[in-house]
């Protein structure tokens, strides 16, 4: 077994770390305070290839493996850009999974600027009454000749209301299956389509610099060719997308844990009480030791899940485990970091305050911790 990153993977990790420290870290606090999604940072990330890492070279990407794609994320304190590479049909097609009807040429051009970081795309699944129960979607699409008419709403949708947003992929109920359960289909809805509106959401506790929106569909007409895949494939497509998204959330949890740990260790070595650095006190040293141990466990769990995916083997159980463990890991480490900082840990001048807030989304996004435990329990035969 080889636990080392390849030379290429290590080069990517170092370059992304350099970028995060030189470009993101200096402005992260200000962006968080002003609740501003940074178009400039997003474009810079596109310029160095961060949005096309696992996308096929045929679609302007680099065709890298998941370990190379996600390993840099573990070192990014204060992530403020899109939470994962955008999800237009061009990228779905590039990953060999989904495409629009009849593989029309437009499917490769719906979001032509996403890979180079000149545009972003939204992923419309969650609704006001359908969060963990994604099968409870109320948004509908009815066939009308050569078009489909979409009505309904979505909420907490990332990347959907920025000046860079070109459109969204939206799941809607399109009928009933033979067993009486709803049939779900995914549609491509481009910005500017009549009846479609995206409204930014503000006053969030965490991820304040992330672009988040409510979506409204009022008799939105889209051509039948805007179906992603085939009618009825929507629920399967969304579940597959969530499986991959769980790896991204796990990487963010691991990265956030590492960032909080680094900050706490540095502070503990410098802060003196009773004539010595507080890192020398067992109560503090044990918190740091526990954090270091759990981060190593999380890294191995995440990398195994990524390796399984790269080997085209079943990875869904391990993805759920990695997402659950790493997201909650960040919570434990950030809590220790704030405690080690004492009163300073409660102040916005110190990054651990933001780590503490930002972690909470990871317990909820891409399936709550409770849902992950349900998923895992089913895989182990409960």
pTM of the model: 0.87
Residue 117 covered by a domain: yes
Q: Are 85 and 158 in contact (CB under 8 A)?
A: no
Task: Verify that 125 and 39 share a domain, yes or no.
Answer: no
Interatomic CA distance for residues 91 and 94, integer angstroms: 5
Q: Tell me whether residue 349 is one of the annotated catalytic residues.
A: no
Residue 1 covered by a domain: no
Q: Please give the chain's pLDDT, 382 residues, in tens.
A: 788 888 888 888 888 889 988 999 899 999 999 999 999 999 998 888 888 787 777 777 788 888 877 766 544 444 434 444 333 333 333 233 454 444 343 444 456 778 888 899 998 999 998 888 877 889 999 999 999 999 999 999 999 999 999 999 999 999 998 888 899 999 999 999 999 999 999 999 999 999 999 999 999 999 999 999 899 999 888 888 888 889 999 999 999 999 999 999 999 999 999 999 999 999 999 999 999 999 999 999 999 999 999 999 999 999 999 999 999 999 999 999 999 999 999 999 899 999 999 999 999 988 999 999 999 999 999 9
Q: Is the dihedral of CA 123, 124, 130, 136 positive or negative?
A: negative
- The Cβ of residue 315 has, within 10 Å, a number of other Cβ atoms equal to 22
Interatomic CA distance for residues 175 and 184, integer angstroms: 7
Nearest to 242 by CA among 45, 115, 55, 97: 97
Q: Are strands 182-190 and 165-176 parallel, antiparallel or unpaired?
A: antiparallel
Residues 33, 35, 40, CA angle at the centre, nearest 5°?
105
End position of a domain, from candidates 211, 231, 251:
231
The CATH number for 367's domain is 1.20.140.10
Residue 2 covered by a domain: no
Task: Verify that 272 and 344 share a domain, yes or no.
Answer: yes
Task: Verify that 202 and 150 share a domain, yes or no.
Answer: yes
End position of a domain, from candidates 194, 216, 231:
231
Residue 194 covered by a domain: yes
End position of a domain, from candidates 190, 213, 231:
231
Q: Which of 214, 328, 353, 366 is catalytic?
A: 366
- The Cβ of residue 102 has, within 10 Å, a number of other Cβ atoms equal to 10
Q: Which own/partner contact pairs does 362-365 have at CB distance under 8 Å and 24+ positions apart?
A: 362/249, 362/252, 362/253, 362/256, 362/326, 362/327, 362/330, 362/331, 363/327, 363/328, 363/331, 365/83, 365/249
Task: Verify that 38 and 145 share a domain, yes or no.
Answer: no
Residue 227 covered by a domain: yes
Task: Verify that 364 and 244 share a domain, yes or no.
Answer: yes
Q: In terms of residue numbers, what domain contains 272?
A: 237-379
Task: Verify that 218 and 322 share a domain, yes or no.
Answer: no
Task: Verify that 49 and 129 share a domain, yes or no.
Answer: no
């Amino acid at each position: 077994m080889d636990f080392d990153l390849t030379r290429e993977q290590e080069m990517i990790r170092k370059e992304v770390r350099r970028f995060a420290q030189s470009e993101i870290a200096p402005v992260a606090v200000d962006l968080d305070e002003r609740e501003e999604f940074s178009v400039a940072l997003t474009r810079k990330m596109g310029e160095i290839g961060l949005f096309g890492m696992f996308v096929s070279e045929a679609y302007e990407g680099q065709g890298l493996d998941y370990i190379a794609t996600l390993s840099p994320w573990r070192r990014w304190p204060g992530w403020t850009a899109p939470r994962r590479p955008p999800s237009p049909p061009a990228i779905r097609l590039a990953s060999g999974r989904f495409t629009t009807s009849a593989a029309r040429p437009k499917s490769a051009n719906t979001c032509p600027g996403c890979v180079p970081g000149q545009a972003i795309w939204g992923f419309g699944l969650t609704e006001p009454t359908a969060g963990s129960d994604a099968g409870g979607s109320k948004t509908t699409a009815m066939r009308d000749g050569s078009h489909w008419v979409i009505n309904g709403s979505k909420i907490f949708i990332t990347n959907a209301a920025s000046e860079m947003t070109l459109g969204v992929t939206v799941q809607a109920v399109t009928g009933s299956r033979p067993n009486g359960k709803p049939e779900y289909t995914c549609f491509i809805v481009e910005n500017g389509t009549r009846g479609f509106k995206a409204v930014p959401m503000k006053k969030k506790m965490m991820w304040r610099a992330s672009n988040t929106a409510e979506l409204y569909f009022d008799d939105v007409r889209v051509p039948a060719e805007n179906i992603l895949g085939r009618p009825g494939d929507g629920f399967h497509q969304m579940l597959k997308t969530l499986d991959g998204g769980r790896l991204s959330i796990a990487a963010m949890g691991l990265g956030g844990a590492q960032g909080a740990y680094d900050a706490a260790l540095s502070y503990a070595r410098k802060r003196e009480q009773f004539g010595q650095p507080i890192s020398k006190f067992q109560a503090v040293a044990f918190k740091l030791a526990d954090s270091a141990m759990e981060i190593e466990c999380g890294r191995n769990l995440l990398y195994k899940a990524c390796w399984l995916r790269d080997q085209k083997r079943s990875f869904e159980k391990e993805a759920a485990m990695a997402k659950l463990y790493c997201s909650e890991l960040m919570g434990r480490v950030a809590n220790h970091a704030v405690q080690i900082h004492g009163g300073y840990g409660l102040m916005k001048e110190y990054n651990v305050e933001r780590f503490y807030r930002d972690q909470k989304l990871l317990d909820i996004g891409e399936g709550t911790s409770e849902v992950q435990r349900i998923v895992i329990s089913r895989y182990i035969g409960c």
